Amino acid sequence: MQGNRPLVLLLALIALAGVIYTLQVSGDPEKFPRSGIPSRVVMVNGYPELHVDDKPFFMHSAAFYYYRMPRDRWEEALLSYKQHGINTIDLYVIWNWHQPAEDSLDLDGSANPRRDLKGLLKLLSDLGFKVSVRPGPFVCSEWKNGGYPDWLLTKPEFQRSLKPEHQMPLKDVLEGRYPALSALQYEFSEEAADAWLQNPTHLQATRKWYEDVMGVVRPYLASRGGNVILLQVDDDQAVGRYNYNGPRFWQYMNLLRKYLREAARDKAIPIYFNPADMRVTASASDPLIGEPFWAMGQYYQEEGYGSDVLSAEDSSDAKFLAEILKTQRGFPPFFIEYQAGWFAGAEDVRARATDPTNTLISSRFLIQNGVRGINYFPLQETLFPAGYECPWSNYFYSWESAIGYEGDLRPRAEASLRNGRLIQGMGRLLAASHYAADIGIAHTIGSYPQERLTREDVDGVRFRTLAATQFAFFNQVNAELVDLDYEGLPELRRYRMILLPVPTGSMYKDGKVPEYMRLSNRAQRLLAAYVQEGGIVVAYPEPPKGADLQPLFPPWNGTEPNEGVRAAPLSIGNASGYQNRFGKGSAIVLQSEFDRWVPLRSVTSSPESPLPHQPVLSVLEKRAAGRILEGLLDTAGIKRGALSPGLEKGLALQQPYLSLLVANAPAESGKGHSFGFLSITNFATGPYRFQVLVRDPRTGENLTLPPLEVGGRDALLLPLRVGLKELGFTGADGQKTNDEIYYSTAELTSVRSESGALLIDLYSKGKASLRLRLNREPTGAPTAGGEILERRYYPATRILDVDIPAPKDSTGRQTLRIPYELLKGPHAPSEETGQPRVDIRPTPRIPVRFDVAYDLLPATRFATIGETVEFSFTHPFDCTNKCKARVSADDLVVSQVDPENTPSFTVRVPLERTYVRKLEWTLENNGKTYKGEGRIVFYPPGSAVAVECDVDRDGFTDYILENEKLRLILFPHAGARSFALVRKDTNSSAFTSIGGLRDLFRVQMPDPPKHDRLPAWTRRGLPGMHNRFYEGRIVQESGEYAEVAFSYQAPDVAPSGALLERSVRLAGNADYFDVTYKITPNDTESDQGYINLSSVALGSMEGETDTVLRSDASGEAGLRKRTQGSIAGATWVALARRDFSELFGMSWAPGTFEKVGYDRRDFSLLLQPQSPPWKRGEKSHTYRVRYYYGPDSPQAYESLRLLTAENR
């Protein structure tokens, strides 16, 4: 080595230079190499657009829960998202998943394949997705501890920095509950932020975590030529209208943003947070907080509306949530979490079933109101890795999403496919357009002193705003909210008239408006300046108070104004008041709450509702109220942007509602807008055919469309004056073209050129009309589906009208072909389908729910000795005459493999004994080599076998106990629960995704002081050991019985912890298994007791009369949904189908359990045998329970009683 000393020195100097450069770069992000086009928000004529690759970008996104899906399925899942037109993938990067121990960071899958973030980012880049990354530190998503690592939460220095009421007790950490401050932020964000800022351990660890994550993400940032376009800090911050977000809140958010930007080494990438129903969304752009913060919204159909069908009345929330996002001056409105439903909780196996059409109706309604990005949260069903769900969730993370766990399409898929096709073709134009409002409505909540507002104040103002927007909606008037404290004159100038709902005593229980409920000085001055310039403000039912508003709203005695005031009495419809001329505009006061009656839900509000009392009006009275708004429009000279004389106005009806979207950029003439869209959402169950009068986006003149048809529970987005150049077309000579789509009454999703023709993809449910402006007449007749269509070309105007027949395809899709050689444009994109999986089959299907199952992989076969087992290759389509295969399995006899002639091969045993063997295979096809494994288990007839394997491929060991009748799967990392007790003859499971064999205890550890201030939903769920990592081992692999044992030292079993042990034994040829539970408490003087909980279901459990509950103590009882009860003194209990096809039962010795609690949910049953209180001084407590699953027969009850007899 001495001879190479100069080389060593040179290498050391190079390395040192690299270290110095790295340090310089980390200190100054601007010095980091930049070779890509950063994503950024661009203002176009005062409207914000997200630009990606320097083009307007409509984010059609889906959350991808990679940690809830096997690594080998990532690509096939993402390719299916591509089929839905998804262009962006939303990634939660969860801290405790990637760093389960302080000294164990896994971002490349080295410890667990599902942790391969590096591989995922490369895959997403290769597949062409854009990416939004959300690295926490807090992550909601129903995840254990909100993503915080338990090693951090339990650090003494972490806890010492917190007040007692903010500390997290060990039991909460172990149960997977959210940290107290993460829970507190939902209602007391200022207090939570202040506490986080005073916790240096948390801040240092968070900064280090950001550095670790961004070290992997950084090469993929858009500014470096990559595909990561957005970053989020934390999760669910500023949620809720009652939440006060003060200076400490913004200080904390800015600090997290600073840490994340430092870690990214990128000053350009947009960083956002995701509030829901934030009290003052526009405040995120307040100069006082520093750099504006992008607030992205959330929309869920979480609670029942009395009906599962989203109605026109129910649209009030969606409209309001979209509008408050639009009050941010510098950012386009995005919903980073969107779902027309809610997830399945801890007590049942299915998510709340909402009508599948709600997804199309709500998503298109949001787009219709100006939303420019939605993220399906989620698009696909997934399964938690063992032990990582929080207490109010369950193993199956089900939302009844568009895509099932195995990739099957669910009813909601129709909506995401429709949206995907539209956004793939028109997304860039939609991203560069805005909602054309007819009027503005003042959203005044930000104009009052925030720290003083009560719930009654907030509810009252919100009610007045909701009522105003919904009143306009039912009168076919497009209204938009304007924030008087955070928007300015440029925004207010968009509206000829602004409605100003004024707080009144009717909002308050005592009938009095607090003195502090006055508009801020800024809001008052802004309104005065708006009117001075020529705007019209309509205040109702009385004038607002404030010194700067006196010139607008002078004292008025009802007949004569004060001297020098240009006011006059005014009567519009049945409302009276006055109009005061001020500057070039006027201020109007109407002494009427004409919008108060408007329904904001499809059912009457409950007595506990925050909504004030609403009057019930007759149809005539509602129409009279509508005429007030009509009179105001006439007074202001406002014509609606889109109107159908054939649709009702003034009534809350299920019918189509219209809006106009127009381009942000002006037309080349300098007048009007370069293009537009007519958006229609039909809340009715039946089709509507009607005519529409819409404002031409280019000229501003009225444009009468031919009669159009929209299907029931359907939506259309129709192009208006869209130039083909906007869609990427040029003339045949490469020059600009002025050919355009004048209008279409069918939804247009794609325009492309092919073989001298225009191909136009359309969607409609009935006949439609298409008008184009083309420089020359087409060279032939248009066709659709091979049928020649009626058309008319007018050379003087260059107009081509085409009559489009109703589509023959039930999906409503058809392609129009117009022979036209004067254009060059985009061709049809190639579809990415991926390579078919090369593997072997069959393999058992593992039930998750009666309608959901997944393959046990690698392919596995259980067989008795003497059977010959057959496998088949699922090889590529072109395998014939090109394939060779090899299969090997130690000690087993494998048949000759000839994949070119037959894909199958067989395996058998040479000797009569138990074999648990790995099978290895290789398939060569056309120069490619595929390799894989299988598993095969042979056991003697009448015996049982225990096998260790990773059943759900989450990186954790599971156990299968199997005989000829049953298959029991146990998940030690999920509290040794079972999610599958399977009858092999039907492949149905009695245990649900909530789990069987759960360990619970009668007495819980106490909560710390003031934990009752935390949101109730963060304290609910089934407490116990559901997510603990039990130690497991096979006691007996096979023979007359197979047995597995588990143990866990539980420190949070009150009062001082306990050792939990259990053995699970399955006998050969039995349709039951036995479990012996042994609990050894550390304190033998407590009043503790044991509860053994199992969630079971026989079939779908949808019918209330399909199943009954039986026991030896109470006979037979019906099970109505949402009923609870208990049975005392039983030694067995059983859930049975009334048709006697199936039965699940549990039995035990007399005195083992004093009662059995039961809770009939909508789709499952919770059974909870509960022991008597432990006797003081007893060192341990043993419970032996038999679980039967099979046919409902006399032998079933004999098997249950047999254990009782044995234990006597």
Give the CATH number, domain containing residue 1036. 2.70.98.10
Q: Give pLDDT tens digits for 225-245.
A: 999 999 999 999 999 999 999
Domain boundary among 762, 791, 824: 824
Looking at residue 194, its pLDDT comes to 98
Looking at residue 27, its pLDDT comes to 39
Q: Give pLDDT tens digits for 764-780.
A: 999 999 999 999 999 99
Q: Tell me how long the chain is.
A: 1208
- Domain housing 884: 840-941
pLDDT of 32 over the 50 cut: no
Q: Give pLDDT tens digits for 55-83.
A: 999 999 999 999 999 999 999 999 999 99
Looking at residue 1075, its pLDDT comes to 98
Look at residues 707, 705, 704, 702 and name the one whose alpha carbon lies nearest to residue 687: 707
- Considering the chain, what percentage of its residues have pLDDT values greater than 70? 94
Residues 664 and 628 in one domain: no
Q: What are phi and psi of 465, to 5 degrees?
A: -70, -45
- 838 and 875 Cβ atoms separated by less than 8 Å: yes
Residues 630 and 646 in one domain: no
> Looking at residues 718-746, what average pLDDT do you find?
95
Residue 1194 belongs to a domain? yes
- Considering the chain, what percentage of its residues have pLDDT values greater than 90? 86
Q: Binning pLDDT at 50, 70 and 90, where does residue 835 land?
A: low
Residues 689 and 625 in one domain: no
Residues 974 and 1114 in one domain: yes
What CATH number is given to the structural domain containing 589?
A: 3.40.50
Looking at residue 8, its pLDDT comes to 34
Residue 1115 belongs to a domain? yes
- Output 607-615 pairs: Cβ under 8 A, ≥24 positions apart: 610/455, 610/459, 610/463, 611/459, 611/463, 612/459, 612/460, 612/463, 612/506, 612/507, 613/506
> Looking at residues 301-305, what average pLDDT do you find?
62
Looking at residue 83, its pLDDT comes to 96
Q: How many domains does the chain have?
A: 5
Looking at residue 148, its pLDDT comes to 98
Number of H helices, E strands in the chain: 19, 71
- Residue 189 tokens read as 């964000």
Q: What are phi and psi of 1076, to 5 degrees?
A: -110, 115
> Looking at residues 495-510, what average pLDDT do you find?
96
> Looking at residues 941-945, what average pLDDT do you find?
97
Q: Binning pLDDT at 50, 70 and 90, where does residue 34 land?
A: low
Residues 255 and 152 in one domain: yes
> Looking at residues 537-552, what average pLDDT do you find?
95
- The H or E element spanning position 886 is strand 883-889
Q: Binning pLDDT at 50, 70 and 90, where does residue 653 land?
A: very high
Q: Binning pLDDT at 50, 70 and 90, where does residue 672 land?
A: confident
Residue 28 belongs to a domain? no
Looking at residue 864, its pLDDT comes to 95
Q: Give pLDDT tens digits for 1126-1154.
A: 999 999 999 999 999 999 999 999 999 99
Residues 598 and 651 in one domain: no
Residues 499 and 551 in one domain: yes
> Looking at residues 854-883, what average pLDDT do you find?
88
Q: What are phi and psi of 5, to 5 degrees?
A: -60, -40
Q: Give pLDDT tens digits for 378-425.
A: 999 999 999 999 999 999 999 999 999 999 999 999 999 999 999 999
- 718 and 678 Cβ atoms separated by less than 8 Å: yes
- Compute the mean pLDDT over every residue in the chain, rounded to the nearest whole number: 93
Residue 88 belongs to a domain? yes
pLDDT of 751 over the 70 cut: yes
Residue 9 belongs to a domain? no
Looking at residue 556, its pLDDT comes to 80
> Looking at residues 963-985, what average pLDDT do you find?
98
For residue 706, whether the previous peptide bond is cis, meaning omega lies within 30 degrees of 0, is no
Residues 1196 and 1107 in one domain: yes
Q: Binning pLDDT at 50, 70 and 90, where does residue 566 land?
A: confident
- What is the spatial order of strands in the sheet that 977-983 belongs to? 988-989, 977-983, 966-971, 958-962, 944-949, 1038-1039
- Residue 1002 tokens read as 């009668």
> Looking at residues 269-292, what average pLDDT do you find?
94
- 744 and 770 Cβ atoms separated by less than 8 Å: yes
Looking at residue 767, its pLDDT comes to 96
What CATH number is given to the structural domain containing 844?
A: 2.60.40.1080
Residue 39 belongs to a domain? no
pLDDT of 562 over the 70 cut: no
Q: Binning pLDDT at 50, 70 and 90, where does residue 922 land?
A: very high
Please identify which residue in the block is written with the tokens 């930049």: 34
Establish how many alpha carbons lie within 13 A of residue 375's alpha carbon, considering only the half-sphere containing its beta carbon. 23
Looking at residue 35, its pLDDT comes to 67
Q: Give pLDDT tens digits for 89-129.
A: 999 999 999 999 999 999 999 999 999 999 999 999 999 99
Residues 765 and 894 in one domain: no
Residues 682 and 570 in one domain: no
Domain boundary among 607, 636, 665: 636
Residue 930 belongs to a domain? yes
Q: Go through 655-686 and write b for each residue having 16 or more CB atoms within 10 A of its CB, e for each that does not.
A: bbbbbbbbbbbebeeeebbbbbbbbbbbbbee
Looking at residue 1095, its pLDDT comes to 98
Least confident of 533-537, 621-625, 895-899: 895-899
Looking at residue 1208, its pLDDT comes to 54
- Residue 24 tokens read as 């310089």
* Interacting residues of 688 by C-beta distance below 8 A, sequence separation 6+: 647, 655, 656, 682, 709, 710
pLDDT of 12 over the 50 cut: no
Residue 1086 belongs to a domain? yes
Instruction: Quote the CA–CA distance of 343 and 349 in Å, as a whole number.
Output: 10
pLDDT of 4 over the 50 cut: no
Looking at residue 1048, its pLDDT comes to 98
Instruction: Quote the CA–CA distance of 631 and 643 in Å, as a whole number.
Output: 16
Instruction: Quote the CA–CA distance of 284 and 311 in Å, as a whole number.
Output: 32
Residues 674 and 816 in one domain: yes
Residues 935 and 1083 in one domain: no
Three-state helix/strand/coil letters over 660-694: EEEECCECCCCCCECCEEEEEEECCCCCEEECCEE
> Looking at residues 794-800, what average pLDDT do you find?
97
Looking at residue 287, its pLDDT comes to 85
Domain boundary among 777, 799, 824: 824
pLDDT of 258 over the 90 cut: yes
Looking at residue 1097, its pLDDT comes to 98
Look at residues 461, 534, 546, 452 and name the one whose alpha carbon lies nearest to residue 496: 534
Looking at residue 822, its pLDDT comes to 85
Looking at residue 183, its pLDDT comes to 97
